[in-house]
Structure 1
């Protein structure tokens, strides 16, 4: 019942004027059309009574009018939906390879239809078979029908017909872009495409995307490859390894475009030639000036980008494999906190700690049900033994495992679940935004 009520509420909102000029123009035209149809019908009935046209029953005319009004209302509502900013965004590339292909096919079909239609209509104008105004009217209707048809297709593909597993494929990298914090992450999308010899098959695509952490707006996105690994932020840009092509390069964090490749790196550091690994587990970045890596010669190195030098030290292995005494102390502390939470909240399942500065309160993520891969973020009051607030962290039901990552500042906690990125107020638990990596935009209720 709630779903039906929510549907009708959203539908009624479409039929109201708002601050969107495109929406208001389309809505005004729809209302004019709905007023015109009864007037046209009444005029036709009057002519029939006067004997100017063939007579027909009033009941049939009324039925036709009602059907015409309902059809126009439904089609007009759908058109209003497709003209909303959230739907118009479906016409923009998101960075996913499938979206590029689909938009290219749609653009090609529209261009082909125009190449067929326009020359024929100009030929008719030259032959004086029809006026320029009539051709313009038909052209407008052609564009409107194509917009409606392809908007329906895009909406169906994005909302209904294509189940996806969407999961994190890299750590979340934080970058300060001119005092504007940006999160950069690689996402993996897996789409089932049938079975072959009794084995389920799927198509997998990858995306590296940067999102403004404060506003939740996309900064850039680019397609990525299967064995392309996002390692982290350096002075030269975002370090990316490509194990398939056996190369590495650096991306500009402002644009996502390549700004330095392996050849450029070797010109600065010739000693690295034939010794670079392309496995992300062989690298660690502790700050933008220092890249630690495990060389092909079995030794550990540090590339100092500030001093332009490379040093070798067996002790660098602790940077790449950070199982140090400090890590053991932190793990022991977390274990004590976990034991306390399990004692106070035995009903919570799959609990994971999220760092907090308050001794009496703890941010945790846990599962509501054992068979649900979605997690709930909650603030626990350990002194009162209650849950201050909860926020569901949604994820596609098709996900085979849980992609979950967190980042905090003083007022907000940021969460990544694979498909979605959340900004959540620490005091209230309310989501300031929910960014959808599949569609490349924020979720709008």
Structure 2
């Protein structure tokens, strides 16, 4: 199901929603247009007539257009475009890079929208050195329609903390500042200065560490301040409570997958199945484990999703996805009313829990859907 080389290559020449790729492509199109105008003037400029009587043969010889010259013009312009675009897009725009496209932060479901931050690493020409750069995007994917509701540029120091009734909490880890944006539009609604005005006792007390923040319920943001105290911030009623017992909420924050992955070896023995490179999805389901694994131990091996019974270990269904894990060491998963959202290697998928049918496959490299089954 993964796009072919030709599809990815041709898709490189359209605007995708990745800032540096689109900026580079826009520059390439402008340069090609200007070069085309200059080339046209050079090749098809009308010559000044000489003060002699023209014969029919002389007129044909000095004609402005001819079929061979038109072909030469088109080929020269195409060659210029391919050289400039391939150099620019592969070096600066990321080209067709997929093996370093992964979720950097977040993965929240809000009214059929999955909010996540994506990181796209771009190799700038060396394979063993440090010449890599990263591009970041924040977006909201409508998992019902299979399209992006909004898309905005991000950077390395933005981290998604959690979802509240007021919006999505965003942390700037470089400065230790939090802000809030609308989950449906991606637009900022509350800046850090407004948070400090609402909670003045937190001024100069915000942590820069992502792990020191926790969202619980619809309105509460818990934080471990620089003064070593734990706080509960009521975002709706604008109240603040300091209580050392809030520490327990942070201690209990161990992901479901870390606990469930301890049972993978037992499931392999019970089912006789080898779950290579296995990752148990963080989906709270009383009847089934959902496991993402590969056919072999090779890193580029195809990903398979398996549903395994909790009570009587047996495989209910298996679904080959036609994609690989790539370099991603973790996966994102969210439960969605009889289905679940799953992402890896730059793809977002929606799978039916009952039979493993694929309802949606979205490619974040080109930002378009590959498959939607009603």
Q: Which residue of 2 aligns with 1:240?
A: 170
Secondary structure of 2:329's aligned partner: coil
C-alpha change, 1:146 and 1:239, in structure 2 (3 Å) is farther
1:391 to 320, 326, 349: 320
Shift of 1:432: 2.2
Secondary structure of 2:356's aligned partner: coil
Q: Tell me if 1:282 matches 2:212.
A: yes
Secondary structure of 1:263's aligned partner: helix
**Aligned mates of 1:159, 1:193 — CA distance in 2:** 8
Shift of 1:284: 0.4
Q: Which residue of 2 aligns with 1:230?
A: 160
| Greater CA drift, 184-193 or 247-256 | 247-256
Q: Which residue of 2 aligns with 1:184?
A: 115
**Aligned mates of 2:280, 2:97 — CA distance in 1:** 34
**Aligned mates of 1:190, 1:306 — CA distance in 2:** 38
Q: Which residue of 2 aligns with 1:265?
A: 195
**Aligned mates of 1:114, 1:278 — CA distance in 2:** 51
Check the 8 A contact 2:12/2:95 in 1, yes or no.
no
Q: Which residue of 2 aligns with 1:107?
A: 29
Q: Tell me if 1:91 matches 2:26.
A: no
Shift of 1:314: 0.7
1:249 to 179, 193, 201: 179
C-alpha change, 1:244 and 1:357, in structure 2 (3 Å) is closer
Secondary structure of 1:443's aligned partner: strand
The normalised TM-score by structure 1 is 0.65
**Aligned mates of 2:98, 2:296 — CA distance in 1:** 22
Counting only pairs closer than 5 Å after superposition, residues 10-409 of structure 1 correspond to structure 2 as: 90-97=13-20, 99-113=21-35, 116=38, 149=81, 153=85, 157=90, 162=97, 164-176=99-111, 181-195=112-126, 199-322=129-252, 334=260, 338=264, 340-349=266-275, 350-354=277-281, 355=283, 357=285, 359=287, 361-372=288-299, 375-380=303-308, 383=312, 385-392=314-321, 394-395=323-324, 397=326, 399=327, 401-409=328-336
Give structure 2 stretches of 5+ with no counterpart: 50-61
Check the 8 A contact 1:403/1:418 in 2, yes or no.
no
1:443 to 355, 358, 370: 370
- What value does the CA root-mean-square deviation take over the aligned residues? 4.4
Q: Which has the larger radius of gyration?
A: 1
C-alpha change, 1:223 and 1:217, in structure 2 (3 Å) is same
Q: Which has the higher helix share?
A: 1
Q: Which residue of 1 aligns with 2:55?
A: none
**Aligned mates of 1:278, 1:435 — CA distance in 2:** 33
**Aligned mates of 1:92, 1:154 — CA distance in 2:** 15
Secondary structure of 1:347's aligned partner: coil
Q: Which has the higher strand share?
A: 2
Shift of 1:172: 0.7
Shift of 1:291: 0.7
| Greater CA drift, 295-304 or 267-276 | 267-276
Give structure 1 stretches of 5+ with no counterpart: 1-5, 8-77
Secondary structure of 1:317's aligned partner: helix
Shift of 1:301: 0.6
Shift of 1:336: 8.5
Check the 8 A contact 1:395/1:420 in 2, yes or no.
no
**Aligned mates of 2:109, 2:79 — CA distance in 1:** 39
The total of aligned residue pairs comes to 350
Check the 8 A contact 2:11/2:366 in 1, yes or no.
no
